[in-house]
Amino acid sequence: MIVALAGHVDHGKTALIRALTGVETDRLAEEQRRGMTIDLGFAYLHQPDGPSIGFVDVPGHERFLPNMLAGVLGIDSILLVVAADDGPMPQTVEHLSVLQLTGVAEINAVITKIDAVDPARVDAATEETRALLTRAGYADAILHHVNSLNGNGIPALRAKLLEHARVSQTRAVGGQFRLAIDRRFTLPGIGLVVTGTVVSGRAAVGDSLLLTPPRLAARIRTIHVQDRPADFAAAGDRCALAITGPRIEAARVRRGHWLIAPELHAPTTTLDLFLTIAEGQRLRHGRGTQLHLGAAHGPARALVLAGGDMDAGTEGFVRVALTQPIAALHGDRVALRDDGSGRIVAGGLVIDPFPSERRGARTQLLARLTALRETDPRAALTKILAMDGSADLLRFARARNVAPDDLIDGMAARVLGDAGNRVLVSAAAAELWRGRLLEELTTWHATHPDSAGPGQIALLRQVTGGADLAIAEAALMDLLAAGVIKRSGTSVHLPTHAPRLSDADEAIWARLEPRLREAALRPPRVREWVEELGLSLPNTEAILERLHRFGRLLRVAPNRYFLPETIAAFINIAAELAQTHDGFTAGEFNKRTGIGRNLAIEVLEYLDRTGATLRMGEVRHPADARS
């Protein structure tokens, strides 16, 4: 069990952890000199016959609020520390607001310094704290009273915490591994060590992970869980991992990075959130803010999706655009902090870490996000299918950190596509997209009979207009796998389609063929065909090229096309010359054919390129004669 201590500066959080565990969490020299926690501190309470407790000491001073946020956004249980002499203070209220806004489920309180004031003041501080917790929605919170210096109340609190650790439900180890890094350092003989809380999954010594967002491969060398050597770390554990990798070094790793299973790597710069606005604050549409998620924070622009600003106490969907990529998944806790004042403006959860780029009505977007708020991923997916008819299965599964097959098991829907693009669609949507593709392909063949078929991208864009490309591509992959559509080179086509010349081209061919036979070994140039056919140069070139593609003509040079039988005649002439003269020169070939030197050179170079003849110096031979 991991417990974080929150509260106002100098209310005794560090002293309380020291009394409970015997560990000094103020590790920095400046912290010890000033007697004030600046960065996160960690300590552990072990018991021989039960689970250990990890404590996270977070800074109380408002100037170190980002460090405090790094410590609590991944924690499930909180001790709110309030000094009896002061009672709840501004930072107490702000810390509690953060915890409330980000959805921390379990908060209890500890009244410290009870021996420093009279009993009436202790009672007053207790009532003030209870009232504060009740207003925040934690009326059932348990309040403890201690003096950390003389130990009064410490044994009872320790016993309660250990009992709670024994009976509390262990966090589910579902999903793939994610660890939010909040510290990194190097140790002699061990190397680079990162620490953090495991958010999900499980990893063992030797496992290969990925540092994200930088995308650096890492391997686990050793593991410490709750400050003890371990073979593996699982969801809910506070752990330290010694890692190595070809590009892993301390300078590349920082607080706010994550260690994850490689399949989860998907840095994002846009998040759709569900936020509640803090008391006394206002979220202005389009305003710059600081986003805190896990141990990461950075500038972001907040866009209220319902339009307008959001006032204190209201809640709704907000899209944040970040300047730097961040690692985030559905359900991650977030907080927004005002750029100017530094105060917490809002808190909540990530709803969609990978928002779709498709545009639509605002009401449709809000309805989709409402469906995605469902905690149960299958329930959310079912609602999305009912609304849109389709869902990107791999993206949805990654966002929820669940296996795709676990999502769709037993669902009345079809999976289209291949391993890289799996789209879940309703039966009706599947048939709709298959029908659209087949209809478009049939139309294409009718209007382009001389083409083998359109390219895949061209077909998809024609069907979708540029939208819903993923589902259209998945439907196409499904049709290809079933053999309903075939692929030839870069073209896709119906199995029954065979390219043929159009009627217009056949009519022109009927005019060209007799003229070519009459010309014998010297057919007209392309520009001569322009005059004979009465067409423009581009149209004439296009027609001749189509005839070449269908094998009716052979392109010997850019400006000259021949009948295949004419080329065969040239090959025979070359064979006769070689047999008589033991090879032949270009001059001898020109004299024998009578077609002129320039054209003779073009024909011979064509025969060389196609392998019909072999040139050796100034003499050529039929290729098969020298093989």
Burial class (CB in 10 A: 0-12, 13-18, 19+), 376: exposed
Summary mean pLDDT of the chain: 85
Three-class HEC string of 139-153 = CCCCEEECCCCCCCC
Percentage of the chain surpassing pLDDT 70?
90
Six-digit token string for 20: 């409970």
**Tokens 């039988």 appear where?**
565
Mean pLDDT (whole number) for 79-105 = 84
H helix intervals, 213-298: none
Residue 313 has pLDDT above 70, yes or no: yes
Q: Mind listing the domains of the chain with CATH numbers?
A: 2-167 (3.40.50.300), 178-264 (2.40.30.10), 268-364 (2.40.30.10), 374-500 (1.10.10), 503-562 (1.10.10.2770), 565-625 (1.10.10.10)
What pLDDT is attached to residue 327? 94
Residue 41 has pLDDT above 70, yes or no: no
Residue 26 has pLDDT above 60, yes or no: no
What pLDDT is attached to residue 8? 84
Pick from 603, 521, 615: nearest CA to 625: 615
Contact 211, 249 (CB under 8 A): no
Contact 17, 44 (CB under 8 A): no
What pLDDT is attached to residue 28? 39
Q: How many whole angstroms separate alpha carbon 590 and alpha carbon 596?
A: 6
Residue 40 has pLDDT above 60, yes or no: no
User: What tens digit of pLDDT does each residue of 207-232 get?
Assistant: 999 999 999 999 999 999 877 899 99
Mean pLDDT (whole number) for 155-177 = 77
- Please state the pTM of the whole predicted model: 0.70
State the pLDDT confidence band at 82, using cuts at 50, 70 and 90. very high
Strand-pair partners of 210: 217, 260
Residue 277 has pLDDT above 60, yes or no: yes
Ranked by mean pLDDT, which of 55-64, 143-152, 404-413, 494-503 comes out on top?
143-152
Beta carbons within 10 angstroms of residue 12's beta carbon:
26
Strand-pair partners of 421: 418
Pick from 594, 454, 624: nearest CA to 520: 594
